[in-house]
Amino acid sequence: MKTVLLAGGLGTRIGEETHNKPKPMVEIGGWPIIWHIMNHYAHFGYKEFMVALGYRGSVIKDFFLDYHHLNSNLRIDLSNGDVQTMEEFLRDWVIHLIDTGANSMTGGRIGRLRKYLDDETFMVTYGDGVSDVDIEDLIRFHRSHGKLATVTAVRPLARFGGIELDSDQVVEFKEKPHTGEGWINGGYFVFEPGFLDYIDGDACILEREPLERLAAKGELMAYRHSGFWQCMDTIRDRQLLEELWSGDAPPWKIWTD
């Protein structure tokens, strides 16, 4: 099963961090946050990634193009230019780096990946948030209900898209309520191929018409995650994640190096 990482937004609210790089490349503990997210999925055996590039996508390309050599000890023969890797700190991942347009919205970026998704169930998450969600349990939940879509519902401060639930079925999806507390959109989606029919062009915003229409039709279910979840929306969020990473047990680090 492929995992789509939305990595094309401007990230304007995190200030100077994103002047020269996209938000998924902002570092936590010396590693881009997208690397943390990929390690999480890979821990559960999901190691094929579709990275939807946009703003400064070349920075993400350069990171992965150089990954092998920069994370290995090298032997370089200057007489002939031969380079050999010795001890390595590598990952057995397959990564598709795909330009989805400079101005595409979240839904539009997923729509542009249609031809690469092979008409199979796929996962999607944002390139700026970490969690300890159990991916295997999420997928079991998705397969159990037979609907087109699953969103992971989390309960931090009420700053994001609100989800109204009837049992585990999403009955209404509201983007960014100004007040109130409750379950909100935490990303970590699972979609059936039919979901792609709800996307209409590059201007389509995932969190609006597609998810709202799915909720209205009873095709959007919520996987409730009460564990750790944190986005990196602001400098303050980044500082929090950095402090947690520097501690003894970062709550989202469930993989082993």
Q: Which residues contact 62 (CB under 8 A, 6 or more apart)?
A: none
With beta carbons less than 8 A apart as the criterion, state whether 104 and 112 touch.
yes
3-state secondary structure of 182: coil
Q: Please report, for the chain, the start and end positions of each structural domain, with discontinuous segments joined by +.
A: 3-246
3-state secondary structure of 95: strand
CATH topology (fold) of 3-246: Spore Coat Polysaccharide Biosynthesis Protein SpsA; Chain A (3.90.550)
3-state secondary structure of 124: strand
Query: Which pLDDT belongs to residue 100?
Result: 96
User: What DSSP character marks residue 168?
Assistant: T
Q: Residue 18: is its pLDDT beyond 90?
A: no
Query: Which pLDDT belongs to residue 250?
Result: 95
β-pairing, 229-231 vs 129-131, is antiparallel
Query: Which pLDDT belongs to residue 59?
Result: 95
Query: Which pLDDT belongs to residue 200?
Result: 94
* Residues 112-154: tens digit of each pLDDT: 999 999 999 999 999 999 999 999 999 999 999 999 999 999 9
Query: Which pLDDT belongs to residue 183?
Result: 86
Q: Report the percentage of the chain scoring pLDDT > 70.
A: 92
Beta-bridge partner residues of 130: 230
* Residues 169-192: tens digit of each pLDDT: 888 877 655 444 578 999 999 999
Q: Which residues contact 78 (CB under 8 A, 6 or more apart)?
A: none
Query: Which pLDDT belongs to residue 179?
Result: 43
- Cα–Cα distance, 204 to 230 (Å, whole number): 25
Beta-bridge partner residues of 95: 49
Q: How confident is the model at residue 201 (pLDDT cuts 50, 70, 90)?
A: very high
Of the candidates 127, 89, 130, 125, the one whose C-alpha atom is nearest the C-alpha of residue 245 is 130
Lowest mean pLDDT among 11-15, 22-26, 81-85, 202-206: 11-15
pTM of the shown model: 0.87
Q: Residue 16: is its pLDDT beyond 80?
A: no
With beta carbons less than 8 A apart as the criterion, state whether 129 and 232 touch.
yes
- Cα–Cα distance, 201 to 203 (Å, whole number): 6
3-state secondary structure of 155: coil
Q: Which residues contact 14 (CB under 8 A, 6 or more apart)?
A: 23, 26, 232, 233, 234, 235, 237, 238
